[in-house]
Chains A and B, each alone.
Chain A
Amino acid sequence: MASGGFKPKEVAYQAAALAAVLAVVWFFVSNTVANLDARRIASGFGFLQREAGFEIGEKFFLTYGAADTYARALVVGVLNTLGVAIIGIVLATGLGAAVGLSRLSPNFMLRSAAAAYVEFFRNVPLLVQLFFWYALITEGLPGPREALSPLPGVFLSNRGILLPSLEGAPRLEGFNFVGGTAITPEFAALLAGLSVYTAAFIAEIVRAGVLAIERGQWDAAQAMGLTRGESLHFIIVPQALRVVIPPLASQYLNLTKNSSLAVAIGYPDLVSIANTTLNQTGQAIEGIAIIMGVYLTISLSISAFMNWYNARIAFRR
């Protein structure tokens, strides 16, 4: 809508609304500060520089020990959340696209299997699915001393999946495997749960996107001699993307936020580490503010990226 010039009444209303919001915010903040002070509860973010003192079971990219600060512990938590979210988004997108396209396949078996997948996984609560994957790994696989070894240097046990790395192959020493790279049961269960669950929703979005393309486009592609696969690749999918991207962005946001269910199965994500921090320092308001701030930042970044991508692939006429 074009701007309609200066309207004093509208400006006055908006200024009043803004003032009311600010007054409410001020009321809450000043009350909180006064209450904390009256009860002699410590406040502020000074605790971030103190020694954390607890261990973290899993870290991406960053080294961390109990002697490091709370700030570093929280960064480890953020990276753990980002790690599982990014890999989860990639897997969910791939799986979801495959299932979504299968639902449109002329092959009856493939079509039905895809439909069953979608109906099953999107209708069972995610938390239940996480417990299922976690129990499957911890109860279904043998202990480290009886680990399965499907390939030389690869071990499957209830301690996770161990793969050889540049430093050498994993070997059993004392209680656990040492050396190699481990995919822990917590990470594997969380990743499987998030990807499989979100893929069911993405499959429906992909199907809707493809169905939104007019029949004429298929006919035209066929008339030019393209096979079904080629039609999808060159004609249908590029157009479907415009329909698919906005709802896909909300699935990515959902997946990221759902990763906070990690506390239930012991993956040390941001919420898990912030909880421990909050407990050791007793500073609940700061702890929750940090959790909210980080999720808000991650979510807004994903939104911004998806909006940018959506604008880039939009039709230019």
Chain B
Amino acid sequence: MKKTAILVLALAAFPAYGQSTLDAVKNKGFVQCGVNTGLAGFSQPDSKGVWKGIDVDACRAVAAAVFGDATKVRYTPLTAQQRFTALQSGEVDVLARNTTWTITRDTSLGLNFVGVNYYDGQGFMVPKKLNVKSAKQLNGATICVQPGTTTELNLADYFRANKMSFKPVVIEKLEEVLNAYFAGRCDVFTTDVSGLVSTRASRAPNPADHVILPEVISKEPLGPVVRHGDDRWFDVVKWSLMAMMEAEELGLTSKNIDSQMSSANPSIQRFVGATGDVGKMLALDNKWAYNVVKQVGNYAESFDANLTPLGFERGLNRLWNQGGIIYPMPIR
């Protein structure tokens, strides 16, 4: 709350600036990236204080593309409530904080979503002993939910559409809302399925006591966000993300990309910057995509390192040619 107030003040106090974000980032020498305060698999500091997760990798990819050095990122941990103000006021250059792409955010908040790095949906978790098999059986349930997201809205919409009633218990901090759920204050905990899988694996006293119901009640395409009206920066962040996905499609990994530098495949030649001038079009080094893959890895490597150990399935987040909907735009 206090931080939001400071950000509001920042928005009020400083005159609008005209410098492009890419130039500003190059001048200061690092990318300021807004991330989640701690969601295992998406962004969380490890035991050595190093940020890890697929959202963190999206930030590192931008740094690798701009500077040729994935470590030139500084992280600003943000709550759901602080995140948009932090981006709008210029406190961060990119927001990679499991943020759902919606029309309201894309238009009235003055933001641009660069793409989707995780296709998610909202689900329900219930204690196994309640013997609930479907979300349609949840009439009259008490439901624990965190504010600051589209979650409360989807929840109300789902129950209205199915003519059921529920009682929300809205608690701000993840720790406290989970305590309330695990203590039995609520029958149900709801958030994005990724969040349910992540918290069940990392926070439940006994993960086997809780089941995630089959219904997914909303579409939650999560992706990095930048400010509206700075198209060059928008392009850089968008294509840094695309490069990770395109690398998976081309079969390039951080391990094999050096040996692929002399590949005869023209797509790979363009990708690694051996031919063409894709980098110049972005006002970056021609080896920008090589640097992303070499230092951060392709999308599959990032997914396997961060999400697979927590029990995530690739599911929808497989490549389009493998039954998923991850579809990188062609780099040519």
Complex-state Cα separation, A182 to B144, whole angstroms: 18
Contacts of B105 in A (CB 8 A): 282
Q: Is A251 an interface residue (CB 8 A)?
A: no
Does B170 contact A57, Cβ atoms closer than 8 Å? yes
Q: Is B185 an interface residue (CB 8 A)?
A: yes
Q: Please tell me the size bucket of the interface on B.
A: 35 or more
The interface residues of chain B, by DSSP majority, are classed as: mixed
Q: Is A219 an interface residue (CB 8 A)?
A: no
Contacts of B227 in A (CB 8 A): 39
Nearest-Cβ distance from residue A182 to partner chain B, whole angstroms: 9
Q: CB < 8 Å: which of A31, A185, A280 contacts B12?
A: A31
Nearest-Cβ distance from residue B156 to partner chain A, whole angstroms: 4
Q: CB < 8 Å: which of B1, B88, B157, B169 contacts A266?
A: B169
Does B171 contact A266, Cβ atoms closer than 8 Å? yes
Contacts of A31 in B (CB 8 A): 12-15
Does A176 contact B12, Cβ atoms closer than 8 Å? no
Does B16 contact A34, Cβ atoms closer than 8 Å? yes
The interface stretch among A267-275, A295-303, A308-316 is: A267-275
Nearest-Cβ distance from residue B170 to partner chain A, whole angstroms: 5
Contacts of A278 in B (CB 8 A): 4, 81
- Contact A158 to B185, CB < 8 A, known contacts A279-B81, A279-B147: yes
Complex-state Cα separation, A185 to B186, whole angstroms: 11
The interface residues of chain A, by DSSP majority, are classed as: helix
Q: Please tell me the size bucket of the interface on A.
A: 35 or more
Complex-state Cα separation, A209 to B12, whole angstroms: 46
Contacts of A173 in B (CB 8 A): 140
Q: Is A276 an interface residue (CB 8 A)?
A: yes
Q: Is B235 an interface residue (CB 8 A)?
A: no
Does B12 contact A272, Cβ atoms closer than 8 Å? no
Contacts of A271 in B (CB 8 A): 1
Cβ < 8 Å to A, chain B residues 101-153: 104-105, 107-110, 130, 138-142, 144, 147-150, 152-153
Does B172 contact A275, Cβ atoms closer than 8 Å? yes
- Contact A288 to B4, CB < 8 A, known contacts A35-B16, A36-B11, A279-B81: yes
Complex-state Cα separation, A266 to B152, whole angstroms: 13
Contacts of B228 in A (CB 8 A): 39-40
Nearest-Cβ distance from residue B112 to partner chain A, whole angstroms: 10
Does A54 contact B152, Cβ atoms closer than 8 Å? yes
The interface stretch among B160-168, B192-200, B250-258 is: B160-168
Contacts of A35 in B (CB 8 A): 11-12, 14-16
Q: Is A175 an interface residue (CB 8 A)?
A: yes
Does A174 contact B140, Cβ atoms closer than 8 Å? yes
Cβ < 8 Å to B, chain A residues 157-203: 158-159, 173-176, 178, 185-186
Nearest-Cβ distance from residue A265 to partner chain B, whole angstroms: 7
Closest to A37 in B: B16
Contacts of B176 in A (CB 8 A): 131, 264-266
Does B140 contact A67, Cβ atoms closer than 8 Å? no
Q: Is B229 an interface residue (CB 8 A)?
A: yes
Q: Is B39 an interface residue (CB 8 A)?
A: no
Q: CB < 8 Å: which of B108, B141, B183 contacts A42?
A: B108
- Contact A38 to B16, CB < 8 A, known contacts A32-B11, A135-B179, A275-B147: yes
Complex-state Cα separation, A31 to B184, whole angstroms: 49
Further pairs besides A55-B159, A280-B153: 20, Cβ < 8 Å: A28-B13, A29-B12, A34-B16, A35-B16, A36-B11, A53-B153, A54-B168, A57-B170, A66-B156, A134-B180, A138-B184, A158-B184, A173-B140, A175-B138, A175-B140, A175-B141, A186-B169, A276-B170, A282-B105, A285-B12
Binding site for A on B (CB under 8 A): 1, 4-5, 7-8, 11-16, 80-81, 84-85, 88, 104-105, 107-110, 130, 138-142, 144, 147-150, 152-153, 155-157, 159-160, 166-173, 176-177, 179-180, 183-185, 187, 227-229
User: Can you pick out 25 interface pairs between chain A and chain B where the beta carbons lie within 8 Å of each other?
Assistant: A29-B12, A41-B109, A53-B153, A54-B153, A54-B168, A143-B184, A159-B185, A175-B142, A176-B141, A263-B171, A264-B176, A265-B171, A265-B176, A266-B170, A275-B81, A275-B147, A275-B148, A278-B81, A280-B150, A280-B153, A282-B84, A284-B8, A284-B85, A285-B8, A285-B12
Shortest 7 CB-CB contacts between residues of A and residues of B:
A66-B156, A266-B171, A42-B108, A39-B110, A54-B152, A282-B109, A38-B16
